Amino acid sequence: MSDVTREILAAKGTWAVVGLSPDPSRDSYRIASLLRARGFRVVPVNPHLTEWRGETAYPDLPSIPFAVDVVDLFRRSSEVPPHVDEAVAIGAKAVWMQLGVRHAEAAARARAAGLTVVEDRCPAIEFRRIEAEDQKR
C-alpha cells in the first residue's frame, strides 16, 4: 500500500462523497458510514438528497460552503472528469476513486493541479491493510 493512501486515511478530514446513496445496502452508504464511524466528516453530494444521517446534502461540490479535504467518487469512470474538475476548483487536497473507478486523463489533471489521487481503491480494504501492516510492526 502506498504511503499516500495511508496519509489520506490518517488525516481524519472532511470527505465529500459524490454519489452517496440513501440506501444502506449500497457500497457508497456503507463506506460513508465506515468513514464517519472512524472520525471523518462525511458530506453527501447527491442532487437527489437533502440530508444523510443528519448532514446536509449538496447537489454538487461547488455548493459546499466549507473546505473539503477529499472528494470520494462513487461514479462510473466515464463520469469522473467533471467531478475532478470541481474538486480542483474547490481546492480539495485529494480525489479518491472507488474500487473499479479509474480515469487516467482526469487523474493527470488533478495531479497537475496539485491534488493527490487514489484510483481503484476502497477505504474499507485499505483500512484493513493498514491495520494488518501495523500489527506486523
Whether residue 133 has pLDDT greater than 80: yes
pLDDT digits (tens, 9 = 90+) for 19-51: 999 999 999 999 999 999 999 999 999 999 999
| pLDDT tens digit sequence for 74-129 | 999 999 999 999 999 999 999 999 999 999 999 999 999 999 999 999 999 999 99
Asked whether the predicted pLDDT for residue 3 surpasses 50, the reply is yes
With CA atoms as reference, report the closest residue to 13 among 44, 46, 35. 35
| Per-domain boundaries in the chain | 3-136
Q: pLDDT confidence of 12, banded at 50, 70, 90?
A: confident
pLDDT score for 2: 66
Q: Residue type for 55, please?
A: E
- pLDDT at position 1 is 43
Residue with cell 446536509: 56
Q: What's the chain's average pLDDT?
A: 95
CATH of domain 3-136: 3.40.50.720
Q: How many residues does the chain have?
A: 137
pLDDT of 73 strictly over 60: yes
Mean pLDDT value of segment 55-74: 98
Three-state secondary structure call for residue 92: coil
